């Protein structure tokens, strides 16, 4: 039973964890149309994690909102974004970089 509780706690923590390459990088919280994102910024890339609950969230709509959140947080143009209703990874085209 103890192992099950530990496993569930670890899985829950992983839901709000960015890719390891974003460790120690800047993080910005952004709200777009009611969805809250924690945007992790890297060099030429970013990852947005949706941190609110939304019943029946559609992947396409959440990815669209995540693109907006990433652009706002980074000040860069999002050239590509892939993901689902929870995590979106994006490539960035940043001015001067």
35 alpha carbon, distance to own chain's centre: 11
DSSP-assigned beta bridge partners for residue 92: 78
pLDDT in tens, 60-96: 999 999 999 999 999 999 999 999 999 999 999 998 7
Q: pLDDT digits over 24-62, tens only?
A: 888 999 999 999 999 999 999 999 999 999 888 889 999
Whole-structure pTM value: 0.80
Give ∠ CA 26-32-36 in degrees, rounded to 5: 60
Residue 66 and residue 48: Cα distance in Å, rounded? 6
């Amino acid at each position: 039973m103890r192992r099950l509780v530990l496993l569930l706690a670890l899985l829950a923590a992983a839901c709000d964890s960015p890719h390891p390459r974003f460790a120690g990088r800047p993080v910005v919280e952004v709200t777009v149309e009611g969805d809250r994102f924690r945007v992790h910024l890297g060099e030429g890339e970013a990852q947005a994690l949706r941190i609110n609950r939304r019943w029946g969230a559609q992947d396409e709509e959440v990815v669209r909102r995540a693109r907006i959140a990433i652009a706002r947080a980074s000040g860069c143009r999002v050239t590509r974004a892939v993901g689902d209703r929870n995590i979106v990874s994006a490539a960035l085209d940043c001015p001067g970089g």
